[in-house]
Structure formats: C-alpha cells, structure tokens
Structure 1
Amino acid sequence: MSFEENKMLIMPAVDIRNGKCVQLVQGKPGSEQVVIDNPEKVALSWQEQGAKTVHIIDLDGTIDGKTSLPTIKKIVNELSVPVQLGGGIRSLEYAKELLDLDIDRVIIGTMGIKHPEVIHELSEEYGSDRIMISLDSKDSKVVIKGWQEKIDKTPEELSNEFKEHGAGSILFTNVDVEGLLNGFYTEPVLNLVNSTDLPVVYSGGVTSTEDLAKLNKTGVKGVVIGSALYKNKINLKDALKYEEVVE
C-alpha cells in the first residue's frame, strides 16, 4: 500500500483499549471520551462509509505493554480496505507477526527510535511501503514510550535519518493538540513536510472540515481523524471530499 501522488487519504481512527473502541484525551488513561463495544464493527462501519484506509492504535500495547492481538485479528478479518496499525510494537518478532497477518502498514515508534536497525530489517524483508515511523511531538520535541519520555531531537531532525534506515512514511502526531478538539497548528506540519520527501500522515486536533481544507494545502499524504468523527464534529462523507491534495 503506497501513497498516491495527488491524494490526501482520510483515515478514521479506531483506538483499542480493553477490547473496546475508545478515544482518550492526549493519550492519558482514564480520560476516555468515547467507549464503544465491538471495535471490529466500528472499523467496518468506517469502511462502509467510504474510508479507503483504517488507522488502528492498540492502546493496551502502548499503555500496558499487553497487546490486543485477538481484537486486531477480528478487525483485519472484517475489513477489505488496508489497515495501518501502531501501538505496543516493541519487538521485531511482534512487528513481523503483524505484517504476516496482512496488516498493510505497521507504525513503529519507540522501538524504531531506540533501535533504528529494526526499521532497516523490516523494510528489507517486507518493503518500505509497509513500514511507517511514528514521530510524535510535544513542545516541538519527539516523545516516546506512550508520550511519557521526551528526547532532545525534533521531528525534522529525525525524519531523514529514518528514510536512510528504510522507513517508507512518517506518522506525525502533535501531542500538544491531540484529543482536545481545538484544531491544529499549521507550522509544525509544514516544518516537517518541508524537511523530508517521505510521505507524512498527520494526526492531532483535527476538528472541522476547515482543518482538512488547511491540511490538504500542506502536502501531507494522509490525515487521521478520531474524536471529531466520534463526537460528530466531522461527518466522514464530508471529510472524504478533501482527499484531493491541492498542489
């Protein structure tokens, strides 16, 4: 699954916690704003409404280190559109297990930043299109370990390092605005897009179709939308109208 030159994919998020679909505020346990049973049915509903990719985050893996593999398998079995998945991928073996399950793209965060040779090995075996590096930012610095630990590098500084290691794309989450439903900041997105020729998918604070209109002028190749969909701030069919990227 590769990104198209002139498309900005709209990616509904399905975040898994304790077997349910949830939405947290800035990733903090106990801040659930949405709790829905049967995440696989939620994912299927996004596909039925026209989503061409579904974005899955395993919060159990991120927060507790205990992966939600049975739920992930149910989602993959329900969907015919591509799935990209992140959260709790902390070993090379688990990443390979997910890729062998026909997860189209895995999102590697902490493990890739601490052990970039893993990115190289996975891209060599499975192809770079299937390997996405997660560069999550708080106060303009990259954060890891479920956004709990900050390192002294910016997303821009790391972006091209990971191209050399074989990553095929970047997921950029601005933690400063994530889950708050107050919109996003354009400057950090542009800074990253302009610093790399890897495709960038943006996540964090997307609240309205006006936000999507702004994002499709930045050059991002995808946008993850979570809380705004679940709280009816954005209708998916309206969002899909913004999949054409403005040159």
Structure 2
Amino acid sequence: MILYPTIELQGGRCVSLYRGRLDEPQIWHVDPVEKAREFAQAGASWMQLTDFDALAGNDRNRALVIEIIRAAGIPVQLAGGFRSRERVEDWIEQGAGRVVIGTLAVQDPALVQELAKYYPDQIVLAVDVMDGKLMVEGWTQSCAITPEAFIESFAQTPLAAIKITDINTDIEGTEASIGVISGLAAACRTPVIASGVIHGIDDVARLKYVPGVSGAVLGRALFNRTVDLETALKMAQPEPEETAEFL
C-alpha cells in the first residue's frame, strides 16, 4: 500500500481543517518546503499537496506550490480547485505528478474522461462522502447522484486512482470510515486511495488488508505526531510470504 504524506496549504502555511471548514484552520508552524523534503527523506514514494486557497478560487499559493513540486524530490499529487481543462493542463505542465478532480467530474464528466485519456495515470477522481451522500464544492454541497453511481460512471475511464474520503471520520471514528471506504472500494475497478481514516499506526495495518485499497492519505496524524512516517511506511509494506524449505 502506498502512503501519501500530505501537506495542506492555506495562506502559505501548513494547516489542517475540521470537516473542510476554511475559516477554522489549525495552523502548523513548519516550513512546507522543508516538510516535503522530509517526506522524501523518510522514504515516501509519493506525497499529496492540497491547496485550500485554490479550492476557494485564490491562486496566492501558486509560487509556493511550484517550489514544493520542484523541491520535494518525489512526485506530487496536487488537489484543490481543478475546475477547468486549462487549470489541469497548467499544473501538469508545472510538474504535478497527478491532479485530483472532484467537482469538475460531477459538472462535466465527459471532460474529465477526456483528460484521463489524454493524461494517462495522472488524473485522480475525488469521491467525498458525508452521511452517504456525494459532496462537492469543497464539501459544502451534496449531489443527487450517489457515490456508487458516480464511481460507476467512470468505470471505463483510465484514471490513476479514485480517492475516497469519508468526511464523517472527524466525528464518528476510524472503524465506521473504513467500512464506508471498503464498501465503495469493492465496487471499483480502479485502485482506491483512502483519505481521512489514519489517526494512528494501527489504522495503517487495518487499511493494508482492505481489498481494493492500494493507498492512503496521511495528513493531520503526521503533524500532531500520532503517527511516525517512517514507521507507517514500513507498516504499509506487504508482509513477506513464508516459503517452504527444501532439504
């Protein structure tokens, strides 16, 4: 299982948000560029970078995001504010290894399917779920389409992955969220990245054995130090299979 240590940006600072509320950031006093380098030094093969300002239509973190992409030393999966073809193409040209698309995929699925074919293994579909409903616009609006139907509509699309977030994880705990994600992953033909469910090292061990889950986003737990990245990366590796000894 691939772990995606994550930096979330707002106003040039590393933050965490409670249920996506932009007006209630928890600020972490660390250098985001140095933190990205630390991820690589710990052995991560990918990282995720979420730009909350871009999600709100503000591009003030652009220079910093470019710096992180170029300095990290590992591929960056970029999320936040991908609402047009031009923005997707721009950030792929700037060096983003992948881009995460949610709202645009609901508004214009044909465009996202086309982008996935043009940029193979670089488009990640975001499926954000709260109380069983598909959420868009930064988790502020629910959709008529169900998460299951949304995923099925992209079944033939060559996506890099599907990132599934159970927004309720902040208030209901990990066990329920893993159940939501595992249920949706069972219907996916594309690798699933679980988001929002790792609060401690035991959660990494649980996720590793969930069928269909090939990766997990690891964010707040790194910053509040309830999870050590090097330990988590080792835990995420497949267990060596026992082999019979031949005399």
Q: TM (normalized to structure 2)?
A: 0.90
The superposition leaves residues 189-238 of structure 1 with CA deviations (integer Å, 9 ceiling, x where unpaired) of: 11111101100000113111111111111131111111111001111111
**1:183 matched residue in structure 2:** 174
CA contact (8 A) 2:117 2:157 kept: no
Give the greater-gyration-radius structure (CA): 2
Alignment CA distance shift 1:57-1:106 (3 Å): same
Tell me if structure 1 keeps the 8 A contact 2:205–2:236: no
Distance 2:238 2:4 in 1: 14
Task: Answer yes or no: is the 8 Å Cα contact 1:47–1:79 preserved in 2.
Answer: yes
Aligned equivalents of 1:184 and 1:110: distance in 2?
27
- Per the TM alignment, residue 112 of structure 1 is displaced from its structure 2 partner at its CA by 1.3
Tell me if the contact between 1:181 and 1:227 (Cα under 8 Å) persists in the aligned partners. Answer: no
Query: CA offset at residue 135 of structure 1?
Result: 0.4
Instruction: In structure 1, give the amino acid aligned to 2:43.
Output: G
Contiguous gaps of at least 5 residues in structure 1: 1-7
Identity of aligned residues (%): 28
Structure 1 residues 174 and 135: alpha-carbon distance in aligned structure 2, compared to 1, 3 A threshold: same
State the Cα distance separating 1:27 from its structure 2 match: 1.1
The Cα shift of 1:245 comes to 4.5
Secondary structure of the 2:198 match is: coil
Structure 1 contact 206–228 (Cα < 8 Å) conserved:
yes
**2:36 is matched with which residue: 23, 27, 43?**
43
Is the alpha carbon distance of 1:77 and 1:35 closer, same or farther for their aligned partners in structure 2, counting shifts above 3 Å?
A: same
The residue number in structure 2 matching 1:222 is 215
Q: Distance in 1 between matches of 2:195 and 2:180?
A: 12
Letter in 2 for 1:187: G
Cα distance in 1, alignment partners of residues 64 and 172 from structure 2: 27
Deviations 1:109-142 (A, max 9, x none): 1011110112122122221x11111000000111
CA contact (8 A) 2:13 2:27 kept: no
Q: Distance in 1 between matches of 2:204 and 2:130?
A: 21
Whole-angstrom CA distance in 2 between matches of 1:35 and 1:229: 11
Correspondent of 1:131 among 96, 120, 123: 123
Corresponding residue for residue 52 of structure 1: 45
8 Å contact from structure 2 (residues 52, 80) kept in 1: yes
List, as ranges, runs of 4+ consecutive aligned residues in structure 1 with deviation greater than 3 Å: none
In the alignment, which of 146, 152, 156 is matched to residue 164 of structure 1?
156
| RMSD between superposed Cα atoms in Å | 1.8
SS of structure 1 residue aligned to 2:129:
strand
1:202 aligned residue = 194
Aligned counterpart for 2:81 among listed residues 85, 88, 93: 88
Unaligned residue ranges in structure 2 (runs of 5+): 242-247
TM-score computed with the length of structure 1 as normaliser:
0.90
Q: Per-residue deviation at 1:106? A: 0.5
